[in-house]
Structure 1
Amino acid sequence: MDETILSLSLSGAILLTISGDIYADDLYGPTRSYAQSRMQSNALSNVLRNARSLPDDSIEAYTSLTAASVWAETNDYMLDYYHNQLEAGARWQVNEQWQWELNYRWTFAADNHLDNLTIAFHDFFGIGQNGRDTVDKHRFYVSMPEYGVHEEGFEGETLSSAISTYVQYQLYQDQHHALSVGGSLYYNDVNSGPFEGSSFEQGLQLNYGYQKEQHAIYAMFGMTHRNKEVSIADIPYRKDTLAFATGYRYAFTRQHHILAEYHIYQGATEGPDDFSDPSNEFVLGYRYVMDSSALEVLMIENARNMDNSTDIAFTFGYRYLFKSRAD
């Protein structure tokens, strides 16, 4: 009897240890997703980040491709086109307190054939098409008469080409909680085409994270600032905008994770009315974690205001962690 009790106790301890090992690390944190709203996707937007530090002297390198379908029809404007984002970057944990990141993001117009999928998705969930099914598919069309904007057939054009850097300082971290603060610098330069222009922007954000076993919660509150009232097609930007995001990750096993996030961005412009309203985006993702890397597949869906963000976007990402020699 005593041997049986001892055996069960040891088995339980081993299972707890294994479970702890399975869920102990949350090195990748929330999804690597970026704002897909028409204005925010081509400017500096605060990103939901991991409030925790990486192991000292570790580097995470990453790349992703996003395909998005933009549709909006109001009394003030019509938008109907595809945009795509290609990003690459890396973040380096310099020491226990400091982390540094460098990122390049290219947003361009190209036919990703999402119209059929978007229409089918809306039909399946009973969501209105808002006029999408009354025009030709796969168009590249922007019309804003109030601002004298009319662009058509701009497939292949660059919408933004931006390099940014981010520095994060660890304020607090223990087994379950983490709190960090970070700042960003962002420079966008498109030297030709209908979207020619440049901008320099700055951002600040506070990150919080909570983790217990297979559960992880993330939150971010941030602000971006522009030194001048930069504009796309003579539409004035707000100089200062706020953002909030929260997310949840559930780890079925060490390899298989699902993630859900909600991002809110203050309207980036002073007009038209829909662009000045907050944009809301829901992110649903799956992550497959390997020994030193992870694959992510994400779906980003517009919520609440249908006329100031993308209808739908899909992101495919790969992240690789170069661990320090000490680990």
Structure 2
Amino acid sequence: MIEFKSSYTQASVWAHTPAYSLDYYQNQSNIAVQWQVSPIWKTELDYRVVTAKDNGLDSFVMGFHDLFGIGQNGRDEVAEDQFTMDFHNAGVHVSDFEGDELTNALTFYNELLLFSRGPMSLSAGGSLFYNSVRSGQFARTSFEQGVQLNYSYITPRHSFFSTIGLVHRNSDGRLVSDERLTLENVSASWAVGYEYRWNQRHSFVLESLNYQGWSTNDPDFSEPSNEVVVGYRYRLYRLALEALMIENIRNMDNSTDIGFTLGLRFSI
């Protein structure tokens, strides 16, 4: 079986600490193809582009935070629709980068089924990630290698999954060169998720995504980032549509503040 996947995400990035300030917006376009080569082996090729774009999320995000009693973390004290990055310790200020490409990446992933019995399965995967932004203020090249272990428990109405992984990073440079900000070469991530199917077509999705801090000595970026995903999925034969919301929780200064995704899947 071959599955084609595509998604589009609009997100807001906001962080404000004594060491740095981030205030900008980004849109991500993604397309992927997954091939079930054999009963125990599947492979996937994924391409994504992230661009700095004004997606008008400021007012919506503040209203959403007010509705659910989530603090604004200073967002309501600055002008809306800005594109700024300030790294105070390094003396770096970047602004007016709307339209710049932030990421241009290709990911190759392979997964091998290790164990399967009834609704349970255990698999291991490996990925190669290559990012190359050729021009602009964020021009850089990076290469990552990842491994992960996946567990799932799937019934007609309830689906549960979990995954844990490690990523090793190589990069030819970064936006801010500051010896006081030391980056991790290896970091871990883990996730758990649940899907409840009302019937054959409609289902509810809830996920928790967690990432180890990528800096060894920054108070915020050395802390884990935690994101919650809530969504709806609609299935019709070999077609699936989904709408997701991603919200950063706990530490508000080390990952995307909020994002909204529309996705499409089609299998043949």
CA-CA distance at 1:229 after TM superposition: 7.7
Q: Is the 8 A contact 1:230 1:237 kept in 2?
A: no
Tell me, in whole angstroms, the C-alpha distance in 1 between the residues paired with 2:238 and 2:13.
35
Report the counterpart of residue 201 of structure 1 in structure 2. Answer: 144
Give the number of equivalent residue pairs.
265
**Structure 1 residue runs of 4+, over 3 Å off?**
227-232
Q: Is the 8 A contact 1:82 1:111 kept in 2?
A: yes
Report the counterpart of residue 186 of structure 2 in structure 1. Answer: 240
Asked which structure has the greater CA Rg, the reply is 1
What does 1:289-300 align with in structure 2 at a 5 Å threshold?
289-300=235-246
CA-CA distance at 1:148 after TM superposition: 3.0
2:58 partner SS? helix
Matching residue's letter, 2:197: A
Residues 56-78 of structure 1: CA deviation (Å, up to 9, x unaligned): xx011010001001111111111
Q: TM-score, normalised by structure 1?
A: 0.79
Match of 2:67 among 124, 129, 140: 124
Q: Is the 8 A contact 2:141 2:171 kept in 1?
A: no
C-alpha change, 1:276 and 1:76, in structure 2 (3 Å) is: same
Q: Is the 8 A contact 2:140 2:172 kept in 1?
A: no
1:255 aligns with 2:198: no
CA-CA distance at 1:194 after TM superposition: 0.7
- RMSD, matched Cα: 1.3
Tell me, in whole angstroms, the C-alpha distance in 2 between the residues paired with 1:229 and 1:237.
13
C-alpha change, 1:131 and 1:244, in structure 2 (3 Å) is: same
CA-CA distance at 1:280 after TM superposition: 0.2
1:119 partner SS? helix
Report the counterpart of residue 288 of structure 1 in structure 2. Answer: 234
Q: Which consecutive unaligned segments of at least 5 residues does structure 1 have? A: 1-57, 323-327
CA-CA distance at 1:202 after TM superposition: 0.2
Structure with the larger strand share? 2
1:112 partner SS? coil
Match of 1:272 among 209, 218, 233: 218
1:210 aligns with 2:140: no
Q: Is the 8 A contact 1:202 1:225 kept in 2?
A: yes
Matching residue's letter, 1:142: M
Matching residue's letter, 2:183: Y
Q: Share of identical aligned residues, percent?
A: 46
The worse-fitting range, judged by mean Cα deviation, of 140-149 and 232-241 is: 232-241
CA-CA distance at 1:268 after TM superposition: 1.6
What does 1:10-29 align with in structure 2 at a 5 Å threshold?
none
1:307 aligns with 2:250: no
1:147 aligns with 2:93: no
Tell me, in whole angstroms, the C-alpha distance in 2 between the residues paired with 1:65 and 1:149.
31
Q: Which one scores higher on RCO, CA 8 angstroms, separation ≥ 6?
A: 1
CA-CA distance at 1:269 after TM superposition: 2.4
Q: Is the 8 A contact 1:229 1:239 kept in 2?
A: no
